[in-house]
């Protein structure tokens, strides 16, 4: 059985990690209004025919 030698990488070869702020920016009024609009459209579709909406997500064969 032959063995392959793999060169080991040292930590010095890795690029430095970018400085990122882990906290997301606050949601502004425009973002909230857009989300409300999408949720309202979903509510309208569900009010008309919820069963057909759910069938669109069920795969054939019951999977």
Q: Which pLDDT belongs to residue 9?
A: 59
Q: Which pLDDT belongs to residue 16?
A: 64
pTM flag (> 0.75): no
pLDDT of 1 higher than 60: no
Q: pLDDT tens for residues 14-59?
A: 666 666 767 766 666 666 778 889 999 888 888 888 888 778 777 6
The alpha helices in the chain, defined as continuous H runs, are 29-55
Q: Delimit the domains of the chain by residue range.
A: 32-58
Angstrom distance (rounded) from CA 31 to CA 37: 10
Q: Which pLDDT belongs to residue 40?
A: 92
């Amino acid at each position: 059985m032959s063995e392959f030698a793999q060169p080991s990488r040292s930590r010095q070869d890795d690029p430095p990690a970018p400085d990122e702020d882990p906290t997301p920016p606050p949601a502004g009024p425009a973002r909230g209004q857009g989300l409300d609009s999408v949720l309202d459209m979903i509510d309208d579709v569900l009010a008309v025919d919820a069963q057909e909406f759910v069938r669109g997500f069920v795969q054939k064969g019951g999977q």
